[in-house]
Chain A
Amino acid sequence: MSPLISFFTSIDPRQKTGVPLKVQLSEIDRQMRVPVIMFLCFAVLWLQIGTFFAMVSSIKLHNPEFLGDLSWLTFGRTRSAHLNSVAYGWANNAVFGVGLWIMARLCKVTVRHAGILITAGIFWNIGVAAGVFGILSGGMTSIEWLEMPMQVAPLLALSYAMIGVWGVIMFRYRALGHVYVSQWYILGGLFWFPWIYMIAQVMILWVPARGTVQAITNWWFAHNVLGLWYTPMGLAAIYYFLPKVLGRPIHSYYLSVLGFWSLALFYNWAGVHHLIGGPIPVWLISAGIVASVMMVIPAIVTAINHHMTAVGNARAVWCSPTLRFIVFGAMSYTFASLFGSAMALRDINVVTHFSQFTVGHAHHGAYAFFTMVMFGSVYFMVPRLLKREWPSAALIKVHFWGTAIGIGIMLFALHIGGWIQGEMWNELKDGAPVYSNLDVSQALVKWFLSRSFAGILLTIGHVAFLVNFVWMLAGGKSTRYKEGPTLIGDKEGSTL
């Protein structure tokens, strides 16, 4: 056999037949261990870096002189460094780890050439690091969500391809005929992300389209990266972990399938609502508004489903670290989606556009929903991958309360403050604005301060998470592992 062909046959990740299911499952966890743990390590690391830049940016908004003399840490750069390290660093690594692991479990197959996956993962992170460095050193582009210097894009795209392809290969060779709704979401996300990323890179940076087409592409990308990449991955995790941990199937599987398809078919129109009022053909904007409002459908469907699955199990949710985070995230998903649909309406958008309300909304989706769900997933996965229990329940609780209260305060501050900001901007007397920019900024200071306070709570949570995670990797109190059916038996007794 030629080496090429033997390579292609060697990627077939199916388990050998005749092996008992239990052994197959532990084999899957064993083979996914190194790559998944690697992605999670990177994710946790980027989370801390992103948090640092977030805090610096946040403080600068009420104390502009803070670190004001360092060009590397001026607001414009730290803000974008924050966005890119949490988006491409934390969120993407988390998605790679969580998404591929769920995929492997549901397909009952595994990744054969973990070495390629690991190498690609390392290169992805080198790319992100280079990109963030480029932003800090002043080489950033002016395109929101694509601030990294364009030279890192090919590296990111290539490493992504080598990562995402394993998800597709596993799907291709899945052991069961039925495709579970989480698999749909992950598979969709794996295709959508490279699609939107490449089109946006090419049409905005490499072969720039003319005029407002750039803006349209920009917001098509920036909105879809949330809605067709992070959201499906977050929902996939909820649909997997919620019923799994509770030990009961999802309330109405039918509704969940409906939710997926309405997202898949219509979501990608929604992004244009970011350009309401802009000089682009009005029908396009109206179509974006309609699509955004239609997203009420998947939101409600998902909300009903999650609620009906969890209802009556409040205590079980409370007793599980995974579900505390996941249910928090699932509830945030509903509210963030409904808010988002409302914000797309012209009458509301006229107030919220450009204001901190939008920033609040972004954190509603990306943090209160997506990030919390990923935290929950990590709490479920790592014990099973390392065959060890989390070293400290107290740290998990600090993490939960710090992040839950922190994001709660932050969302409150930004939504209220942002609304006030928008109303002040719009206040007219005889056709002229009533408030000067200075008045508006002064009115916002207290809300910015609340945001920084919330940021401190989030940081506490993240540090607790980091400590617990490192401790866990280092061995922790592995005796704890006796308790609770949280671990998968390992026939070979092998550890990392």
Chain B
Amino acid sequence: MSDHPNSDHKPDRLPNERGFDPHEEAAYADDTLHRVHQQLQREKEEPTEGFSPIPIFLLFLFGGLVFWAGIYMANNSGEFRPDIYNPEWKPGGGGNETAAAWDPIKRGDRLFRNNCAACHQADGNGVPGSFPPLASSPWVVGDEARLVKILLRGLQGPIEVMGTTYNGAMPSYGDNSGGAGWSDRDIHAIATYIRQSWGNGAPPVSEETVAAVRAEIADRDKAWTAPELLEMHPME
């Protein structure tokens, strides 16, 4: 490059050449210039390598990476099939098995963790003062129609659960406005799950029961209140 000082002459700028800009004179006071000059000369004494090759350890590192990449792709590609999502999939094994049998507890467990546990907690004990417990609650293990109604329309206003009064709002999982619109099957799964977890030992709620209750309350849109439910289904 033209402005690279490659011969012995001084850097081609001297303080007095910069007459148009006296402010900068200080910057190029003699000692600086001297230093610059020194530096340039010193640099020149160093051996010129020309083209510096890649350090050898880098070559090894890059080679190793490429090797790893090949192995990794070979082991985790699912044969490049668009329908394989699991890296553990092996040709001939796994994937092709018949669909797992329907298990309401397994499904219920999942639904519970993803939907209810945030309020009623993973151990089903609720949060004192805010969310009532499900473990050993008579509302859960008692009349199944009452439970399904709660799940299908939600609940609001004061409610007494095992001697404590709560006053909050329980969301709806049914098909009313604002409800989450769960299927009969999922309501059956969650109801069965909460009736049989944390030491609760009530019988399962069948899909048919859910369908029947759903049909029965089709005209209602609002959430229930506890007294309302108790009137229809008195506490055992």
Contact = CB atoms under 8 A, between A and B. Distances in A.
A258 B24 contact: no
Interface in A400-448: 432-433, 436-438
Instruction: Give the bracket for the number of chain B residues in contact with chain A.
Output: 35 or more
Given A258-B54, A437-B118, A281 B82 contact: yes
A282 interface: yes
A282 B85 CA distance: 5
A315 interface: no
B18 A489 contact: yes
Instruction: Give the bracket for the number of chain A residues in contact with chain B.
Output: 35 or more
Nearest to A281: B82
Contacts of A485: 24, 27-28, 32
A282 B68 contact: no
B166 interface: no
B102 interface: no
A252 B84 CA distance: 44
Contact of A433 (B55, B69, B122): B122
Nearest to B76: A286
B78 A282 contact: yes
Interface stretch (B58-66, B153-161, B207-215, B221-229): B58-66
A346 interface: yes
Contacts of B121: 436, 438
A233 B14 CA distance: 35
A247 B3 CA distance: 13
B51 A286 contact: no
B83 A281 contact: yes
Nearest to A249: B4
A16 interface: no
Interface stretch (A201-209, A219-227, A295-303, A450-458): A295-303
A283 B80 contact: yes
Contact of B72 (A290, A436, A437): A290
A483 B58 contact: no
Given A282-B76, A293-B69, A296-B65, A433 B113 contact: yes
Contacts of A252: 52
B117 A282 contact: no
A29 to B, nearest CB: 14
A390 to B, nearest CB: 15
A16 to B, nearest CB: 18
Interface in B9-28: 18, 20-21, 23-24, 26-28
Nearest to A287: B73
A283 B58 CA distance: 28
Interface centre among A255, A282, A437 (most CB of B within 10 A): A282
A473 B78 CA distance: 59
A484 interface: yes
A294 B67 CA distance: 11
B30 interface: no
A432 B197 CA distance: 13
B86 interface: yes
A163 to B, nearest CB: 30
Contacts of A437: 117-118
Interface centre among A21, A290, A481 (most CB of B within 10 A): A290
A293 B118 CA distance: 36
Contacts of A210: none
B24 A286 contact: no
B49 to A, nearest CB: 10
B87 interface: yes
B122 A432 contact: yes
Interface string A270-296: 000000001111110111011001101
Interface in B103-142: 109, 113, 117-118, 121-123, 127
B145 to A, nearest CB: 30
Nearest to A286: B76
Contacts of B27: 483-486
B116 to A, nearest CB: 12
Given A281-B78, A282-B85, A481 B23 contact: yes
A487 interface: yes
Contacts of B62: 297
Contacts of A433: 113, 122
Nearest to B79: A283
A296 B65 CA distance: 9
Nearest to A276: B87
Nearest to A433: B122
A283 B117 contact: no
B117 A286 contact: no
Given A346-B87, A489-B18, A282 B58 contact: no
B20 A491 contact: yes
Given A300-B58, A483-B27, A282 B77 contact: yes
A436 B82 contact: no
A176 B3 CA distance: 12
Given A281-B83, A283-B78, 5 more contacts: A300-B58, A432-B122, A483-B26, A485-B27, A493-B20
22 contacts: A21-B3, A254-B53, A255-B54, A279-B85, A281-B78, A281-B82, A282-B77, A282-B86, A282-B87, A283-B84, A285-B87, A287-B73, A290-B69, A294-B65, A433-B122, A436-B122, A437-B118, A481-B23, A484-B27, A487-B23, A487-B24, A489-B20
- Give 6 closest A-B pairs by Cβ, nearest first: A485-B27, A282-B78, A286-B76, A489-B21, A283-B77, A436-B122
